[in-house]
A and B are shown apart, each in its own frame.
Chain A
Amino acid sequence: MLPFNNGFASPLWHNGPIPGGLYNFPGHNGPASQPKKDYGVQRASQPITTGTSVVGLKFDGGVVIAADNLVSYGSMARFQDVQRVFNINNKTVVGAGGDFADFQCIKRYIDQKIIDDMCYADEYEMKPKSLYNWLTRILYTKRSKFEPLWVDIVVGGVEDGVPFLGHVDLRGRSYQDDVIATGFGKHLALPLLRERTETGKPIGRDEAIALVKKCMEVLFYRDCRASPNFTISVCTKEKAEILGPFKVSQNWELAKSVEGY
């Protein structure tokens, strides 16, 4: 019961929507656009504007994460200059695949948290493991409400001098590894990366970048939802930096030898 509706005074606010609600025009029982809630709700549980693979690799003293700059609308290459790797702060980087709107929604919360951290003006900053664990809980909670945030997020960084690389998906399933790839990268890039890491020899920063660039090239040639433009984020103990945008130097000479169409 409204506090003002006590018979002495008329309610302060009436004939209008509840705060945050939709406005019911006077004389109407309710707008036709509002769905009837009698039979439950059905939500659009599918990604709409999507980014494809993200590739991540740990090297000696840091991590590197790469993703191309395309956000697709189904099969349409809709937004062709959108960076999908981000430096959260000087020790934390993320790469986003899946529904880009859902990721932007999450990113706004992260950015506000970073601002809050800065306002304290102490040396404390969000560390990669904290962000990784927070994302796991957020995404798990949303999936448990059947309102999944359709994202595939690769979190990287350096925590207390030790490189960190983790992956969280739309269900809140998370794991850490030396190499991580999402989407098509799981099939195409991961074998290339594992081939190198499983030798056990340490990987330098430059080699890691070269390896990830090779993965982006392979992904461009074979993933229909990939673009030749990509960005790389490199995080070391000293700093996190964004490299690029790079462009795959395309070579379609092979196409001339394809016959039979």
Chain B
Amino acid sequence: MISAENFPEYNVPGVVKHDFHPYESNGGSVVAIAGDDYAVIAADTRLSSGYSIHTRKQNKLFKLSGTTVLGSTGCWCDTLALTSLISARMKMYHYLHQKVMPTNAISQMLSIIMYHKRFFPYYVSNILAGLDADGKGVVYSYDPIGHCELASYRAGGSAGALLQPVLDNQIGLKNQENVAKDPIPKEKAISVIVDTFISAAERDIYTGDGVIINVITKDGIETRNVSLRKD
């Protein structure tokens, strides 16, 4: 029998035993694509655990500034704690520096905040989309302990592994010969995102109900809604 009692050498002073699970997977997927003068980020609206759906209209996109949006899924209570901490830190930055925090600074801060809880992590999958100082679209993706990577397109969350290959093919045009690698137009990016979510809803039970899309341009953040299958 593999249990702690049979391994007395592990039973050292200071060991704290627990039988409560602080984490819960609440599902949800995020997809983001960055273009030359825009960034699009979308997340589904289903909040669930196991086989039960808590709500069908949970927005998982957090507008952090006029040019930055964070998509966060995973353990929803961690998402709530993390995003409220981020908004507090952004206010502190605003008051200290008398300017709104730029996207690259937010991306770095998010990584630090996440790594700060390296040994009791925020169990969340984050994707940050926005415009950089030159007005160019950027996408940053994170792992739960704060590893940060700049990308031009990324899928994350419960259907992340399902969606990323679709983006590699449609947006990254990976391993394709004789194709023109032109910049992706905004509307094309949005339609690919909608298609990926429709596909994900077919196979991932934690993704569905609807998609909220935020289109970030120099003119502001436009929100669109698309419905998905609800079963």
Q: Which residues of A contact B (CB under 8 A)?
A: 38-43, 45-46, 136, 140, 143-144, 146, 148, 167, 171-177, 186-187
Taking a contact as CB atoms under 8 Å apart, the answer to whether A45 and B58 are in contact is no
A46 to B19: give the CA distance in the assembly, Å: 9
Q: Is the CB of B26 within 8 A of A144?
A: no
Q: Report if B16 contacts A (CB, 8 A).
A: yes
CB-based contact A136/B80 at 8 Å: yes
Beta-carbon contact of A173 and B55 below 8 Å: no
The interface centre, meaning the residue of B14, B57, B77 with most chain A CB atoms within 10 A of its CB, is B77
B52 close to A175 (CB less than 8 A):
no
Residues in B with CB closer than 8 Å to A40 are 13-17
| B224 CB-CB contact with A under 8 Å | no
0 or 1 for each of B9-26: is its CB under 8 Å from A? (1 = yes): 001111111111011101
Interface status of B47 (Cβ within 8 A of chain A): yes
Contacts of B24 in A (CB 8 A): 171, 173
| Bound CA–CA A133/B19 (angstroms) | 27
Residue contact B57 to A39, C-beta cutoff 8 Å: no
Residues of chain A within 8 A (CB-CB) of B81 are: 140, 172
CA distance A41 to B81 in the complex (A): 26
Contact A175 B22 (CB under 8 A): no
Given contact pairs A140-B80, A174-B80, A39 touches B22 in the complex (Cβ within 8 A): no
Q: A136-B80, A143-B77, A146-B22 are known contacts. Are A175 and B17 too (CB-CB below 8 A)?
A: no
The reply to whether A39 and B15 contact each other, CB–CB distance below 8 Å, is: yes
| Other-chain contact of B55, A41, A45, A148, A176 (Cβ < 8 Å) | A176
Dominant secondary structure at the A interface: loop
Q: Are A148 and B80 in contact (CB under 8 A)?
A: no
Question: A-facing mask of B171-191, CB < 8 A → 1, else 0?
Answer: 000000000000000000000
Mark out the residues of chain B between 14 and 68 whose CB falls within 8 Å of any chain A CB in the assembled complex: 14-20, 22-24, 26, 47, 52, 54-58
Q: Write the nearest CB–CB distance from B108 to chain A, whole angstroms.
A: 24
> CA–CA, A39 to B47, complex, Å?
39
Q: What is the size category of the interface that chain B forms with chain A? A: 20 to 34
Contact at A175–B76, with CB atoms within 8 Å? yes
Decide if A173 touches B77 in the complex (CB within 8 Å): yes
B93 interface contact, C-beta 8 A: no
Which residues of the other chain, B, contact A176 by a CB distance below 8 angstroms?
Answer: 55
Residues of B contacting A136 in the complex (Cβ-Cβ under 8 angstroms): 77, 80
Question: Taking the nearest CB of chain B, how far is it from the CB of A252, in angstroms?
Answer: 29
Report the bound CA distance from A26 to B99 in whole Å: 65
Check if A39 sits within 8 Å of B120, measured CB to CB.
no
- Selected A-B contacts with CB under 8 Å, 8 pairs: A40-B13, A136-B77, A146-B18, A146-B22, A167-B54, A175-B47, A177-B54, A186-B52
- Contact A173:B13 (CB < 8 A) given known A45-B20, A143-B22: no
Indicate whether A175 sits within 8 Å of B55 (C-beta atoms), given known contacts A140-B81, A144-B120, A146-B20. Answer: yes
Separation in Å of the A22 CB from the closest CB of chain B?
Answer: 21
Q: B57 is contacted by which of A38, A41, A148, A177 (Cβ under 8 Å)?
A: A177
For the complex formed, measure the closest distance between the CB of A192 and the CB atoms of chain B, giving whole angstroms: 15
State in angstroms the CA–CA spacing of A146 and B17 once bound together.
Answer: 10
For B57, what are the chain A residues with a Cβ–Cβ distance below 8 Å? 177
Known contacts A42-B17, A172-B80; A144/B55 CB under 8 A: no
